[in-house]
Amino acid sequence: MNDKRKYPRVDIRVLASFDCYNEDGELFYQKLGVILDVSIGGMLIETDDIIEANYVEIVFVNYKNKLMSIVGSIVHSRISENGKAKTGICFHGADSENIKIATNLIRTYHYGKRDSVWRRSVYHENQDNISG
């Protein structure tokens, strides 16, 4: 298969909010969803319904618990097999900003996975102490 992407995508799962703006730059809708993958050029997100906006601001909490955001344009938005909407977004930022966002998203995903494993092990250890 011939992939036309300029940059490789990295699979992640990061919760985010999406502020939707019209052609006049007015905020008209906000959504919550999950960022499914990211590259230096853009991302794929999943929401409950299709995003119809001229551009969106994506806001997420990074691995240092700091808010980060980037603006992008909708490339496509379609309902997928699972009934959720998948939307491709092309970033508007300079390459340095896009690299910073992509790096933070990847770190956030991996730190979240690591913390999740740690929390599960602490939970099970506490359960053993309670029942033993």
Residue 7: per-residue pLDDT: 85
Could you identify the residue written with the tokens 């990061």? 14
Q: Within a 10 A sphere around the Cβ of 132, how many other Cβ atoms?
A: 5
Bridge partners, 3 (sequence order): none
How confident is the prediction along the chain (132 residues), in pLDDT tens digits per residue?
456 768 889 999 999 999 999 999 999 999 999 999 999 999 999 999 999 899 999 999 999 999 999 999 999 999 999 999 999 999 998 999 999 999 999 999 988 876 654 444 444 454 454 545
In a domain? residue 4: no
In a domain? residue 2: no
In a domain? residue 62: yes
In a domain? residue 40: yes
Residue 124: per-residue pLDDT: 46
In a domain? residue 67: yes
| CATH number of domain containing 70 | 2.40.10.220
CA-based torsion, 89, 93, 95, 100: positive or negative: negative
| Range(s) of the domain holding residue 99 | 10-131
In a domain? residue 105: yes
- Number of separate domains in the chain: 1
In a domain? residue 5: no
Residue 67 DSSP label: E
pTM of the model: 0.82
Contact 44, 35 (CB under 8 A): yes
